[in-house]
Amino acid sequence: MSGSGFAWAGVAVVVLAGAGCDRDAAAVMSADVPVRSAEAAVSCPPAAAAGAPRDVMFKDVSGTFRSAWAIAERRTDRDARSLLLSWDGCAWHEEPSPVTAGWVKDLRAVWSDGKDVWVSGGQMLFRRLDGWQTVSATTPAAAFWGSGPRDIWMRGDMAYGAVTHWNGAKLESERIEGMAGYVSDLWGSGPNDVWVAGGDSAARRDAKGWQVWKLTEQGYGWGMHGAGGGRDVWVSTPDAFHHWDGRTWSRVDGFGWESVWKMGTIGDGVYAWTSRGELRLRTGSGWSVVGTLRPFMHPSGVHASDGWRAFFTVGNEVWADSGADGVQGVMRRDAGKWIPVGAGTTARRAEDVVALWSDGRSTLWAAVSFRAGLSAPAGEIRRLDRGQTTWTRAAALDQFPTAIHGRAPDDVWVVGFGGATWHWDGKIWRSIPTGAHQNLYAVWTGASDDVWANGERGVRFNWDGKAWRRWLQGNMSWQASGFAGTGTRDVWSAGENYIDHWDGRGWGVRQEGDVTLAHQGSGRLFSLFAVAPDDVWAVGTGGEIERRGRHAGDIHILPRPLILHWTGRAWTQLSRPDANPTAKVLRAVTGTSATNVWAVGDEGTILRWDGKRWSTVSSPTHEDLTAVAIDADGSVWIGGNNGTLLRLDADR
């Protein structure tokens, strides 16, 4: 990078876990565990590992332990390809599918009893007998449930109170009278015990037909999920959990739409996966956490496509896509422990460097989020002391961290999923409860008794030196992602479609000036950095409008990196260098002065402001970058996905 005054360190790309940070053996997902079925032992040849899928994300799984089928997605820099995989009890194998035959572009859902296999793609249904046969060219199915090959149910995306049934001979559509809203979940325990949930209701089909119950006044959305059967059925709604005992419904507070993203039933109880990333199991003794799966592909809170499919019920077991570097993608729970589905080599846990902060004196801090913590921590806080080359683990976390900020070497805060916060007092990291379940994505420390934290659905907290006080209830439609300030009476917050300001008395919206944050809700700010009260930066992604017709509605939103600057009077949008035309998002910004500001983002994007213009910095990686900090020696540290850690040293 000529003429910049900075140069890449001798080791340009550092994998943080391998940079001298010794990991506990328990924190590494090892495939050196014999695979045993709860049904019967399976003897697998050593060569079975060759059939394990690599670099794929599982979207749906169905079948039994000895014979399962999965829809997965393999992403490249250019596109994403849909795969159909089969599991023979020992290894995964890629199979011919309607995609490889050219009938559809991708697959959506799969159902199998171990022998019969159904898949959906586009508007079509397919069944595998001697080969793939088209069952219907006009039946879109987003999910299946079946008790057997002659009793298969399916739901679509936009079917208002309707489902489709295969009776072994033909497809039949059924309208559920009295059900208002789209069917968002479908499950059952037998031919005469089929359940659906959606809108504001749950419905059961027995031998007599459908019966509908209205459970909430906050429905008409996709937030309802359910599991169980017979006399033990659980349904989540926007405001609570509801339990059916075979005769009546009872309300159980403590879970809501914000928390529950998917549910399932296996032999030992009911499973619920929450937006905190917790995989909870309900047994006779209550709910307990049996694992953690980060529900976002990106630590800044961008929801991954089909990310809610991260756990599946297969036969009488629960399986989870652990995302362990794509090497050992699926784990199964057996006898209370998580073990890999299939043989393979020991894999390093996939991890992301989600936040960095330097105290400007002696210590650089890193918040690291693991993509899965099925039987181990969900993340760690690590530190690099000045003059040292080895990162050390400072704390293991039971929740996924998202942001870090401090005001002094002995006053540092980290926030994360499930309302979790942790504080460093110079001696030890302590967990400080907020009493909330919403995920937190931003933190800013103004004083020892004045700390702000923001999160999903607009929730906001203030630390008064003794406890977290809820400032906003968290019932907004927008999501907060960034904080910055120059003092306790000059604090900025930003997120989806908004920027607001704290003046010591109250929060007020400040969007003055020639700036468009979004068009029809397409913009979002992820990070803020304040140099002075009249010099504040905000970065994220904003929609640029491409008109495709003569009418007002004939438009297309083109996501582009967004850079905003506060001059003391107005926010203005600055032009960005077109270094990476495919990058759509800037995710972090920091600096030391008005002439030294840095921003990083997707696909290895690195930008620097010198006081006059933004310029592109040559990057040694194409990984998405999510964190940036400047240490006491002036070196720029940049963190990102897959353990990426870069150091850019000032020329000396």
pLDDT exceeding 70 applies to what percent of the chain?
Answer: 73
Confidence class for position 130, pLDDT limits 50, 70, 90 = confident
- Does pLDDT of 248 surpass 90? yes
22 vs 503, more confident: 503
34: exposed, middle or buried (C-beta count within 10 Å: 0-12, 13-18, 19+)?
Answer: exposed
Backbone angles phi, psi at 180, to 5 degrees: -100, 115
- For every residue of 476-501, DSSP letters joined together read -SS-EEEEEEEETTEEEEEEBTEEEE
Confidence class for position 17, pLDDT limits 50, 70, 90 = very low
Of 5-9, 186-190, 402-406, 504-508, give the lowest mean pLDDT range.
5-9
What's the rounded mean pLDDT across residues 549-563? 62
Quick check: 228 and 270 in contact, CB under 8 A? yes
Question: What is the Cα 513 distance to its own chain's centre?
Answer: 34
Q: What is the pLDDT of residue 23?
A: 35
Checking DSSP bridges between strand 260-266 and strand 317-324, what pairing results, if any?
unpaired
- Amino acid at site 532: A
Per mean pLDDT, which of 211-220, 240-249, 311-320, 373-382 is the most reliable?
240-249
Per the DSSP assignment, residues forming a β-bridge with 508 are 501
Q: What is the pLDDT of residue 343?
A: 42
Listed in sequence order, the residues at least 6 apart from 592 whose beta carbon sits closer than 8 Å to its beta carbon are 630, 634
Output the pTM of the full model: 0.75
d(C-alpha 179, C-alpha 422), whole Å: 44
Kind and range of the H or E element at 590? strand 586-593
Quick check: 368 and 649 in contact, CB under 8 A? no
Q: What is the pLDDT of residue 306?
A: 41
- Does pLDDT of 221 surpass 60? no
Confidence class for position 241, pLDDT limits 50, 70, 90 = confident
151 vs 267, more confident: 151
- Does pLDDT of 31 surpass 80? no
What's the rounded mean pLDDT across residues 602-618? 92
- Does pLDDT of 531 surpass 90? yes
Confidence class for position 309, pLDDT limits 50, 70, 90 = low
Of 279-283, 431-435, 440-444, 643-647, give the lowest mean pLDDT range.
279-283
- Does pLDDT of 174 surpass 70? yes
Can you give the residue ranges of every domain in the chain? 9-20+349-580
- Does pLDDT of 116 surpass 70? yes
Structure tokens at 651: 């020329």
- Does pLDDT of 28 surpass 50? no
d(C-alpha 530, C-alpha 542), whole Å: 20
Give the max Cα distance, the chain: 82
- Does pLDDT of 41 surpass 50? no
Q: What is the pLDDT of residue 286?
A: 78
What's the rounded mean pLDDT across residues 275-297? 73
Q: What is the pLDDT of residue 652?
A: 43
- Does pLDDT of 435 surpass 50? yes
Q: How many CA atoms lie within 13 A of 40 on its CB side?
A: 6
9-20+349-580 — its CATH code? 2.130.10.10
Quick check: 170 and 150 in contact, CB under 8 A? no
The dihedral sign for the CA sequence 591, 439, 277, 298:
negative
Nearest to 645 by CA among 302, 382, 298: 382
- Does pLDDT of 420 surpass 80? yes
pLDDT exceeding 90 applies to what percent of the chain?
Answer: 43
- Does pLDDT of 256 surpass 60? no
Q: How many CA atoms lie within 13 A of 172 on its CB side?
A: 11
Residue with tokens 């799966």: 293
Q: What is the pLDDT of residue 108?
A: 92
Question: What is the Cα 627 distance to its own chain's centre?
Answer: 17
d(C-alpha 418, C-alpha 434), whole Å: 9
d(C-alpha 319, C-alpha 330), whole Å: 7
Structure tokens at 527: 């990070």
